[in-house]
Amino acid sequence: MTKFLADISEFLPILLQGLWLTIVVTVGSLLLSTALGMVWALMRVCRVRWLQRLSALIVNGIRGIPIIVQLFYIYFVMPELGVTLTALQAAIIGLGIAYSAYQAENFRAGIEAIDRGQIEASESLGMGWALMIRRVVLPQAIKIILPPYGNIMIMMLKDSSQASTITVAELTLKGQLIASSTFKYTSVLSMVAVLYLVMSVPLILFVRWLERRMGEARR
Amino acid sequence: MIELSDVHKSFSGVEVLKGITASVGRGEVVCIIGPSGSGKSTILRCINGLESYDSGAITVDGARVDRASPGIISIRTQIAMVFQRFNLFPHRTALENVIEGPIYVKGVKRAEAVPRAQELLARVGLKDKANAYPAELSGGQMQRVAIARALAMQPKAILFDEPTSSLDPELVGEVLAVMRRLAEDGMTMVVVTHEIRFAQEVADRVLCLDHGTILEEGPAKQVLTTPQHARTQEFLRRVLQPI
């Protein structure tokens, strides 16, 4: 036990550096995926047929390719096309794009759950599509969207570890490096697991709180 | 001001409007009655472009109603609609529901829209409910807010799609009273309704629809008390004496 405590004091500072990068990757790709996901979702529910099709194509394309392959592609193939990114940039963009498909499906489900009568009331007031989405649809859809959105956040936090595959020295990669050079797999990987848990649990509680609150609001 | 000529409309192969020709003059109150599925609501929905129609023409003050054209927005700001299920915005208070159209569609300043909305809410008897959310209101109150919301657009006409059909019987009266006052004030109204007594008292003209055609049309008193067509007689008998 004292050995384990000694390991903690020795490795924790290094792991915390990795943890910081984990947060940067998670938050960065969360913002990007939210923005892109909203674009795909709005394209999907708009009234222009070819935009709907394009959105479906993009979302299904992204969903059908493993995240790790998308990361490799952006980090290793894009330079050949003249776009060179740092590992961190590639990780944020790759995870952001990969997750935009799930965000889009969540947003679309929320938007499509809005009662048809709301659309008709907006139309009968003379609202155009964009105004209706902004003033009527999204403010109501957000209650439906938020709880699953919290779950996506938790998944993204954990999947940020995939950035390790393209050399981003986030928590998982740091842990792996320390463990393989010191052979202290048990204490190091336990610390890594606990650190992820420490970040996830508040999010999990937040999602539970959201679900309760939104459930009440809908009644 | 509203003209329909030979309007046809089908839903997936089933023709629901089979050549409707009718007109509504300024200040006129026209009630549309008839059995369920006869196409009453569809006519209203075509007039403000919530539905498209297949052939014929609908015009409002000479402007053709075409759901797909950008001009539809201007027509909708002139022709308001009140729905059977109210369709208030649940995330906004009564007052916010009423000012939504004027501020965001017509660009009226908030400082102007709010007092006007309060006036309208007072007119429908809901002065003290301005800050209530729809979920806190009864059906009759919600429908009256919906009427205030329609009035706030200062429309040339209001279309009512069975405005009392989803209300508890004891709440029907308060909504009809508001509508009666509107009619007295000279508002042009087209009302799809099963309230035969209301039609008798308030309507200038009544159209009786059946299977997508106008069975009978004329002054309210004539159509409702001495209907010519056997099917109109049968329909009225069933509505007035359901048991």
Contacts of A115 in chain B (CB under 8 A): 87
pLDDT at A9 > cutoff 60: yes
What percent of chain A lies above the pLDDT cut of 70? Answer: 98
Handedness of CA A142, A147, A153, A159 (dihedral sign): negative
- The whole-angstrom separation of Cα B203 and Cα B197 is 10
Is residue A64 helix, strand or coil? coil
Instruction: Scan residues 41-70 of B and list those with Cβ closer than 8 Å to A.
Output: 48-50
Residue A72 pLDDT: 94
ipTM confidence score:
0.91
DSSP-derived 3-state class of residue B15: strand
Residue B217's DSSP bridge partners are: B207
A147–chain B nearest CA distance, Å: 18
Q: Looking at beta carbons, which residues of chain A come within 8 Å of B152?
A: none
Asked if B118 has any chain A CB less than 8 Å from its own CB, the reply is no
Is the CB of B87 less than 8 angstroms away from the CB of A139? no
Tokens of residue A197, six digits: 């848990």
Measured distance between the N- and C-terminal CA atoms of chain B, rounded to whole angstroms: 40
CB contact under 8 A, A139 and B91: yes
Distance CA A87, CA A2 (A): 37
- Judge: A118–B87 Cβ closer than 8 Å, yes or no: yes
Q: Is B231 exposed, middle or buried (0-12, 13-18, 19+ CB in 10 A)?
A: middle
Task: Please state whether B188 falls in left (phi above 0), alpha (psi between -120 and 50) or beta.
Answer: beta
Does the pLDDT at position A179 exceed 70? yes
When pLDDT is averaged across residues A136-148 and rounded to a whole number, the result is: 91
- Kindly state the average pLDDT of the residues A51-69: 95
Determine whether the interchain pair A124/B105 forms a contact, defined as Cβ–Cβ distance below 8 Å. Answer: no
Distance CA A4, CA A25 (A): 29
In one-letter notation, the amino acid at residue B184 is E
Strand residues in chain B grouped as ranges (E): 2-11, 14-24, 29-33, 55-60, 63-64, 79-82, 157-161, 188-192, 205-210, 213-219
Determine whether the interchain pair A120/B87 forms a contact, defined as Cβ–Cβ distance below 8 Å: yes
pLDDT of residue B101: 94
pLDDT for the residue A219: 44
C-alpha dist (Å) from residue B38 to A132, B34, B208: 31, 6, 9
* B63-64: strand order across its sheet: B14-24, B2-11, B55-60, B63-64
B37-88 pLDDT per residue, tens: 888 999 999 999 999 999 999 999 988 999 888 889 999 999 999 999 999 9
Cβ-Cβ contacts under 8 Å, B76 against chain A? 123-126
Q: CA B4, B184, B220 angle in degrees (round to 5)?
A: 50
A32 pLDDT higher than 50 = yes
Contact A140 B81 (CB under 8 A): no
A–B interface: beta-carbon pairs under 8 A: 55
List the single residue in B74, B90, B101 with the smallest CB-CB distance to A125.
Answer: B101
Closest partner CB to B105 (pick from A115, A120, A127): A127
What pLDDT score was predicted for residue B144? 94
**Can you tell me whether residue B68 is helix, strand or coil?**
coil
Full-model pTM: 0.87
Q: Cα distance from B143 to chain A (closest Cα, Å)? A: 13
Q: Which ranges of chain B have pLDDT less than 70?
A: none
Contact A7, A192 (CB under 8 A): no
Task: Say how far apart CA B50 and CA B66 lie, in whole Å.
Answer: 10
Q: Which of A124-128, A156-160, B15-19, B233-237 has the lowest mean pLDDT?
A: B233-237
